[in-house]
Amino acid sequence: MTQNEISQMLFNMYDIRNRLEGMVTPSDEDYVTEIKVLDVPKDTDGSIFTIGECIDQIIFTLEENDSALQHTKKYLANQRKGDKT
């Protein structure tokens, strides 16, 4: 995966998170009429993880990979400069 692909996915995930941030959906609970979409469980199997947590985990992982790729590119560029001197 290229840095450009990771960056594009990151921008898409930021957009998705921002778009869902203000959205609500009807709640299954008797005492709450609606719930934020990002706070809804990620599945119907009784998961404790929410859609928002999954999105945040994806973003974190992409950011880590993007940072690692940038670091590797800088390292390789510095190595090439050292080889030429």
Regions in the chain scoring below 70 on pLDDT:
83-85
Answer for the pair 62, 1: CB distance below 8 angstroms, yes or no. Answer: no
pLDDT score for 85: 45
pTM exceeding 0.75 = yes
pLDDT score for 80: 87
Distances (CA, A) of 59 to 40, 65, 70: 18, 10, 16
Residue 62, exposed/middle/buried by CB under 10 A (0-12, 13-18, 19+)? buried
CA 44 and chain centroid, separation: 22
Q: What does the domain layout of the chain look like in residue ranges?
A: 3-79
pLDDT score for 82: 76
Query: Which residue type, as a one-letter code, is found at position 70?
Result: Q
CA 41 and chain centroid, separation: 17
